[in-house]
Amino acid sequence: MDFNKINLYIDNLYEQNAELTKKEFINNIKLKDFIPIVDDDVIRFLKLVVQATKPRRILEIGTSIGYSTIYMAKIVKEYGDKIITIECDEKIAAQAKQNFINAGVADFIELKIGDAKEILPNIKDEFDLIFQNADKKLYSLLFNDCLKILKTGGLLVAEDTLFPVLDLDAKWHDLIKTIEQFNQMVVNCPNLESTLLPIGKGVIIAVKK
């Protein structure tokens, strides 16, 4: 299968109905220096998951400029709960905050500014959906903390999990091993049922049994 051709077809198909594509979202903001955000196919996937499962509590690890947060929040806003999202870079977090206000979803998002490694072990709440999208080295490091605060029946979603087979720029090569380790943890965890989807840079989705 020619995945480039397939992805192009799917993106074109949905572009006509997209509220704001990734390209438009980036063009609309002042800050230009930030870590890449998810692709439009991952946004469609997250929207579908949130719409279908109506998670009361969502935790996102890795906010960046808030693209994925905003799309999840627009659905959460309809049934009235909150997303907690964590970002360690203050400048990027400030842009995310502004984007939340501009998108009219600020009341549905709690932005925690700091290192997820320090914040996560102190979170006492449980979550219906955890979206892991921060530094790839954190995925396996925070795996057990995530499992602890994920409700039974809750979903763990992680982006960039196809790094081991993607044609990555040399600067990302040291992240391959850590993602491979995370994937093995998910696949071999007796408490999780999962699959890895070839969207974005590879999205793993797992439900806690």
Note the residues at the interface with ligand SAM (CB under 6 A): 34-38, 62-64, 67-68, 86-89, 92, 115-117, 133-135, 138
CB of 121 to ligand SAM, least distance (A): 12
CB of 160 to ligand SAM, least distance (A): 7
CB of 97 to ligand SAM, least distance (A): 13
Q: Which is nearer to ligand SAM, 33 or 167 (CB)?
A: 33
Q: What is the DSSP letter of 30?
A: S
- Separation CA 30–CA 32 (nearest Å): 6
Q: Which is nearer to ligand SAM, 173 or 209 (CB)?
A: 173
- Burial code of 153-167, b = ≥16 C-beta within 10 A, e = fewer? ebbbbbbbbbbeeee
Beta strands in the chain, from DSSP E residues, in sequence order: 57-61, 82-87, 109-113, 127-132, 150-158, 192-197, 203-208
What is the tally of helices (H) and strands (E) in the chain? 9, 7
Phi-psi region for residue 157, left (φ > 0), alpha (ψ -120 to 50) or beta? Answer: beta
Tokens (6 digits) for 88: 């360690």
Reference 102, options 141, 66, 55; nearest CA is: 66
CB of 113 to ligand SAM, least distance (A): 9
CB of 55 to ligand SAM, least distance (A): 16
